[in-house]
Amino acid sequence: MAEETGGTGLGHRAISMERVEKGVFEVTNARGGTMRIAGGDSADFTPVELLLTAIAGCSAVDVDFITVKRAEPETFHVEATGEKVRDDNGNHLEDLRVRFAVTFPEGEAGDRAREMLPKAVAMSHDRLCTVSRTVELGTPIDSALAAD
């Protein structure tokens, strides 16, 4: 079995899920973190919201790691949106967008961070963010029953 890893390094990733009740699941990662997901009848995140969160979160971490080397942000807001549609390809999201609103302090360090911000967003989108790269590349998913 592959060793579980986390963080930004390369390697195997895995989560496990257990049903709590109808449409509600508890998710656990390799480091012991847990959260609940549900079908939309509660405040818990839905799988679609988690996909948007993963896309935005992955890029936000990339952009933060790059820009904070220059200056600590005063504000850092990220929004991910998409339209859920149903067509001949089944249910899916279209028009996925990630928008950053980041401010840095006045001064030389803030100027350097502001100058780097668009480059950091582009680097995350084009090469660094594993989540958005996987979605854009269209990696196949193998769904099957677990072996006994």
Parse the chain into domains and list their residue ranges: 15-45, 46-137
Q: What average pLDDT does the structure give for the chain?
A: 93
pLDDT score for 10: 86
CB 133 within 8 A of CB 127: yes
Predicted TM-score (pTM) of the model is 0.89
What is the DSSP secondary structure assignment for residue 147, as one 8-state letter? P
% of the chain with per-residue pLDDT over 70: 94
What is the DSSP secondary structure assignment for residue 12, as one 8-state letter? B
pLDDT surpasses 60 at 55: yes
pLDDT score for 147: 84
User: How far apart are the C-alpha atoms of 117 and 101, rounded to whole Å?
Assistant: 10
Question: What is the CATH code for 46-137?
Answer: 3.30.300.20
pLDDT score for 95: 97
pLDDT score for 9: 80
